[in-house]
């Protein structure tokens, strides 16, 4: 008999149950806090941990004063502090580089292709092709780092040390733009002009209640542009630490070439986003005065060229571009900063307060460190003073000592000095034991004592520390300050530009299958019979204007909005535009009704459903403030739609059922609704298995005596329609 295969034995251990709150506390909260504290939110020095680790690595590599090195070399060295992969490290370097133009004052002096912040598709070169070093402004970042101004901590594997913060001599947190998305919170820091920030900080230290807008009028961006500045809005943003403002592109008109040149765009958009939007608008016929737009950016800087059609007004075209493209964009601010490990949304004044307090501590620690070094030096020089009194005795003590280890103890006994001083005396070279050398060194004592006294006075006097900080800020401003790049526009009023489409009368024809034709009166008079697809035919017709809006309703209770000028002028001999394709409808969606709402959206739409209910919805319910192209829930979907029509005035309606019954009622008996999805009220009570098949105004339904079918209360079953009730129906298109 064949042997049976052994079956696996599984131990079914009982599942451990624990509250969801405990799981979140043990697993999710540590991750969330790590992202908030160690990754996404900048600290008071203006840097995220990834920025700090990269710059400190470059500083330790000697790239502050030396020549450039390959970026790949820096990336590899940074992995000792930042173990998140070379791709993430290099992307951090790219954003800090001068070539990328992301910052007003970049920290990395770059050589090679680092892409551009204003381009989405311009990729930066690989790290093996580019070279970097620290920019000159980093001298103000690392000047005091070796003077115990900031704390150091172990790196992730405890093999080296790294700074917790960088002792920036200026409020970099306000100068460098920064953004980050953490868990449950985010930070969006806009950049300010360095010179304005330094002046504002000096003014704040002199008077904490000063008006910040006097010296810090608005943010500044490396891509320039024009900031539409309102003092009240900017003051509210400064006070709350949250808010938004609008930035638009700068442009010039070249009348000889007939083009508009855009040479600065908002910081929050890209060249490709602008070109894509303009191209779409041209294709849809919404920018009829623009022929084309192209990117002519070169080594001299950004340039987008807009080709104008003959006779186009450049001012009007730019207003349209600002209105419909990212050339005018909003920038949102959220001054969320880590202060002592705690995320806080600070006002601009609050940021200055926290930075000044932190910088005072840095200067105090630097003075204390320098005082300690002076004390150590003076301590050694005091020993030299004692030796100066009897140099020969010091030489004799050393010569008469048999063991080397006894030299220091014997000097300590002979001159009454401590071990450190004795070691210093013993280590003096033979050529330096002459009286001239020792006298020169001893003469330094008085100067060092005066310097030490000055440092100790600085530590005791807060006003002197503030004076040191303000002097450093003025020096930074003088050395690195630049004129602001973003122009401020005050008193701007946003003007909505009217539709540029030409206004002329048109006739609109809609077929049963959803083909729409827009025909001018002249073309209609010269044309023959309307052409339709086989099996298709006329459904609706209107007279309107080329600028009119059209509402298209579908079998899926959706309403699509469009302008007639978006459709090309056609002839009677063509099929027209297929609305499901033209309006981007969902797959399988078909047109059931359409109308021209008019400029004021006056009147009502009446929806008649198969179940006998009718809904009267105000046309204004479909009016939107924004340029929405699609509205969902355009009408009730509880029952299939039989008929829809627009009425500007109340009248009598005749509703027909499948069993040849009719109900005539006055539309005033239906209460208007503003809710588009209303189910309406019962008008007809169809018998079992029957449904509503049509609805028309009573004067156009072909019934000779509507009074026989008129009802007082709704819903009603209606009266049967006899052959003698029907006269010759009116012909309608």
Which parts of 165-230 fold into alpha helices (H)? 172-175, 194-206, 212-215
Residue 331: in which H helix or E strand, if any? strand 328-334
- Residue 427 covered by a domain: yes
- Residue 89 covered by a domain: yes
Residues 403, 314 share a domain: no
- Residue 672 covered by a domain: yes
Question: Is 60 exceeded by the pLDDT of residue 499?
Answer: no
- CATH number of the domain that residue 513 is part of: 2.120.10.90
Provide mean pLDDT across the span 538-562.
Answer: 92
Q: Give the domain range for residue 451.
A: 361-480
- Spatial CA neighbour of 385 closest among 413, 423, 421: 421
In total, how many domains does the chain have?
Answer: 4
Which parts of 418-568 fold into alpha helices (H)? 419-426, 435-460, 462-480, 521-526
Average pLDDT, the chain: 89
**CA 286 – CA 305 distance, rounded (Å):** 18
**CA 497 – CA 318 distance, rounded (Å):** 10
Question: Is 70 exceeded by the pLDDT of residue 500?
Answer: no
Q: Please tell me the predicted confidence (pLDDT) of residue 453.
A: 94
pTM summary value: 0.73
Select which of 31, 56, 124, 129 is catalytic: 129
- Residue 655 covered by a domain: yes
Burial string for 87-121 (b: 16+ CB within 10 Å, else e) reads: eebbebbbbbbbbbbbbbbbbbbbebbbbbbbbee
Q: Please tell me the predicted confidence (pLDDT) of residue 730.
A: 42
- CATH number of the domain that residue 152 is part of: 3.90.199.10
Provide mean pLDDT across the span 693-702.
Answer: 88
- Residue 492 covered by a domain: no
Q: Please tell me the predicted confidence (pLDDT) of residue 13.
A: 59
Least confident of 27-36, 162-171, 303-312: 27-36
- Residue 229 covered by a domain: no
Q: Please tell me the predicted confidence (pLDDT) of residue 7.
A: 53
In the annotation, is 129 catalytic? Answer: yes
Instruction: Report yes or no: 620 and 656 within 8 Å, Cβ to Cβ.
Output: no
Q: Please tell me the predicted confidence (pLDDT) of residue 84.
A: 83
Confidence of residue 733 (pLDDT cuts 50, 70, 90): very low
- Residue 208 covered by a domain: no
Residues 699, 576 share a domain: yes
Query: Both tokens of residue 163?
Result: 């700074």
Question: Is 70 exceeded by the pLDDT of residue 79?
Answer: yes
Q: Please tell me the predicted confidence (pLDDT) of residue 6.
A: 54
Q: Which of 167, 182, 206 is the last residue of a domain?
A: 167
**CA 558 – CA 632 distance, rounded (Å):** 5
Question: Is 90 exceeded by the pLDDT of residue 407?
Answer: no
Provide mean pLDDT across the span 430-447.
Answer: 78
**CA 170 – CA 141 distance, rounded (Å):** 8
Q: Please tell me the predicted confidence (pLDDT) of residue 4.
A: 54
Q: Please tell me the predicted confidence (pLDDT) of residue 656.
A: 93
Least confident of 33-47, 49-63, 497-511, 645-659: 497-511
**CA 475 – CA 455 distance, rounded (Å):** 21
Residues 536, 399 share a domain: no
Instruction: Report yes or no: 48 and 54 within 8 Å, Cβ to Cβ.
Output: no
Residues 703, 603 share a domain: yes
Residues 6+ positions from 390 with CB-CB distance below 8 Å: none
Using CB atoms within 10 A of its CB, is residue 722 exposed (0-12), middle (13-18) or buried (19+)? exposed
Q: Which residue spans within 533-612 are E strands per DSSP?
A: 538-545, 549-554, 558-563, 577-578, 591-595, 604-609
Residues 519, 407 share a domain: no
Residues 575, 467 share a domain: no
Q: Which residues share a beta bridge with 254?
A: 259
Question: Is 80 exceeded by the pLDDT of residue 711?
Answer: yes
Q: Which of 105, 134, 167 is the last residue of a domain?
A: 167
Is 513 or 729 the better-scoring residue by pLDDT?
A: 513
Strand bridging mode 487-490 / 290-295 = unpaired
Q: Please tell me the predicted confidence (pLDDT) of residue 554.
A: 94
Q: Three-state DSSP class for 43?
A: strand
Residues 299, 153 share a domain: no
Question: Is 70 exceeded by the pLDDT of residue 12?
Answer: no
Confidence of residue 194 (pLDDT cuts 50, 70, 90): very high
Confidence of residue 424 (pLDDT cuts 50, 70, 90): confident
**CA 389 – CA 381 distance, rounded (Å):** 13
Residues 511, 371 share a domain: no
Q: Which of 480, 514, 537 is the last residue of a domain?
A: 480
Instruction: Report yes or no: 237 and 333 within 8 Å, Cβ to Cβ.
Output: yes
Cα end-to-end span (Å), the chain: 90
Q: Which residues share a beta bridge with 694?
A: 656
Residues 681, 548 share a domain: yes
- Spatial CA neighbour of 680 closest among 703, 653, 699, 659: 653
**CA 550 – CA 598 distance, rounded (Å):** 9
Residues 160, 66 share a domain: yes
- Residue 239 covered by a domain: no
Residues 469, 404 share a domain: yes
Provide mean pLDDT across the span 198-222.
Answer: 95
Question: Is 70 exceeded by the pLDDT of residue 626?
Answer: no
Question: Is 50 exceeded by the pLDDT of residue 201?
Answer: yes
Residues 688, 572 share a domain: yes
- Residue 36 DSSP symbol: I
């Amino acid at each position: 008999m064949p042997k049976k295969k052994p079956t696996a034995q599984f131990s079914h251990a009982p599942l451990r149950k624990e509250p969801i709150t405990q799981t979140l506390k043990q697993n999710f909260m540590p991750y969330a806090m790590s992202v908030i504290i160690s990754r996404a939110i900048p600290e008071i020095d203006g840097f995220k941990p990834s920025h700090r680790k990269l710059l400190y690595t470059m500083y330790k590599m000697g790239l502050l004063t030396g020549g450039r090195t390959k970026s790949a070399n820096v990336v590899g060295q940074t992995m000792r502090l930042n173990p998140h992969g070379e791709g993430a490290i290099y992307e951090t370097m790219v954003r800090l580089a001068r070539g990328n133009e992301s910052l007003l004052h970049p920290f990395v002096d770059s050589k090679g292709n680092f892409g551009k912040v204003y381009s989405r598709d311009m990729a930066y070169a690989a790290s093996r092709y580019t070279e970097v070093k620290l920019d000159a402004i980093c001298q103000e970042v690392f000047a005091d780092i070796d003077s115990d101004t900031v704390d150091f901590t172990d790196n992730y594997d405890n093999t080296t040390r790294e700074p917790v913060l960088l002792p920036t001599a200026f409020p970099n947190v306000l100068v460098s733009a920064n953004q980050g998305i953490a868990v449950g919170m985010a930070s969006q820091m806009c950049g300010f002009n360095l010179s304005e920030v330094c002046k504002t900080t000096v003014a704040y230290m002199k008077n904490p209640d000063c008006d910040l807008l006097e010296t810090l009028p608005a943010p500044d961006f490396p891509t320039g542009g024009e900031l539409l500045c309102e003092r009240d809005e900017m003051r509210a943003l400064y006070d709350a630490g949250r808010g938004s403002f609008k930035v638009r592109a700068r442009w010039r008109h070249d009348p000889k070439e007939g083009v508009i040149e855009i040479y600065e765009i908002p910081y929050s958009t890209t060249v490709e986003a602008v070109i894509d939007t303009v191209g779409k608008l041209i294709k849809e016929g919404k920018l009829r005065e623009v022929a084309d737009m192209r990117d002519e950016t070169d080594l001299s800087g950004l340039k987008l060229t807009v080709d104008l059609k003959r006779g186009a007004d450049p001012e009007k075209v730019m207003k349209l571009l600002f209105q419909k493209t990212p050339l005018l964009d909003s920038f949102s601010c959220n001054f969320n900063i880590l202060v002592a490990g705690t995320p806080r949304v600070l006002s601009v004044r609050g940021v200055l307060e926290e930075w000044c307090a932190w910088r005072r501590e840095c200067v105090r620690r630097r003075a204390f460190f320098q005082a300690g070094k002076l004390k150590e030096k003076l301590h050694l020089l005091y020993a030299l003073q004692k030796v100066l009194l009897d140099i020969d005795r010091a030489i004799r003590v050393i010569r008469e000592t048999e063991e080397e280890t006894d030299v220091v103890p014997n000097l300590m006994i002979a001159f009454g000095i401590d071990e450190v001083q004795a070691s210093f005396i013993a280590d003096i070279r033979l050529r330096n034991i002459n009286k001239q050398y020792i006298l020169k060194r001893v003469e330094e004592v008085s100067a060092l004592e005066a310097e030490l006294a000055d440092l100790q006075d600085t530590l005791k006097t807060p006003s002197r520390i503030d004076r040191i900080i303000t002097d450093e800020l003025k020096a930074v401003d003088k050395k690195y300050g630049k004129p602001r790049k973003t122009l401020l526009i005050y008193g701007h009023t946003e003007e909505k530009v009217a539709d540029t489409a030409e206004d002329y009368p048109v006739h609109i024809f809609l077929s049963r299958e959803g083909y729409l034709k827009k025909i001018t009166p002249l073309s209609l008079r010269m044309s023959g019979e309307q052409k339709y697809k086989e099996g298709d035919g006329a459904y609706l017709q209107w007279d309107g204007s080329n600028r009119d809006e059209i509402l298209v309703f579908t079998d899926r209770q959706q309403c699509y909005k469009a302008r007639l000028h978006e459709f090309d002028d056609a002839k009677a001999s063509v099929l027209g535009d297929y609305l499901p394709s033209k309006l981007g409808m969902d797959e399988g969606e078909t047109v059931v009704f359409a109308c021209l709402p008019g400029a004021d959206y006056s009147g009502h739409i009446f929806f008649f459903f198969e179940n006998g209910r009718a809904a009267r919805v105000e046309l204004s319910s479909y009016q939107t403030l924004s340029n929405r192209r699609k509205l969902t829930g355009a009408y009730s979907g509880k029952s299939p739609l039989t008929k829809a029509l627009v009425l500007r005035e109340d009248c009598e309606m005749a509703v027909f059922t499948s069993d040849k019954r009719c109900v005539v009622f006055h539309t005033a008996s239906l209460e208007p609704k503003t809710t588009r999805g209303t189910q309406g009220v019962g008008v007809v009570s169809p018998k079992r298995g029957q449904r509503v098949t049509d609805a028309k105004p009573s004067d156009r339904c072909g019934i000779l005596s509507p009074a026989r079918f008129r009802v007082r209360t709704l819903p009603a079953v209606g009266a049967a329609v006899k052959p003698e009730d029907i006269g010759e129906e009116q012909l309608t298109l």
